[in-house]
Amino acid sequence: LTDPAVGNPWRERAKGSRVFAFPIWSYCDDTSGNLSKKWNKHNSFLFTPAGLPREESQKEFNIHFLCTSNIAPPLEMLDGILDQL
């Protein structure tokens, strides 16, 4: 909990900007990026807002792309995502 005498540390980090809590469901999916019949695995990270009902969260405009790679493993990609958050 925040100590009222000290204040919220996020207020100082935000430097006057508004701070919002936005819960998300993040997930990784492996897809094929092939142009031939050979499997060319790509890992993609996507997210949807966590507060949406299931029928809304599965609509294309509520699914947001974060990154994809056919070289980096998913945990390495997740490190980069967390650095951006």
* Domain locations in the chain as residue ranges: 23-84
- Of 76 and 7, the structure prediction assigns the larger pLDDT to 76
Residue written as tokens 């699914």? 63
Angle at 14 between CA 66 and CA 47, to 5 degrees: 20
CB neighbour list of residue 29: distance below 8 Å, 6 or more residues apart = 43, 44, 46
Of 4-8, 13-17, 65-69, give the lowest mean pLDDT range: 4-8
> What are the helix (H) ranges across 9-72?
9-14, 54-57
Q: How many helices (H) and strands (E) does the chain have?
A: 3, 3
- Of 40 and 70, the structure prediction assigns the larger pLDDT to 70
pLDDT, mean over the chain? 85
Type of residue at 85 = L
pLDDT at residue 36 in the model: 66
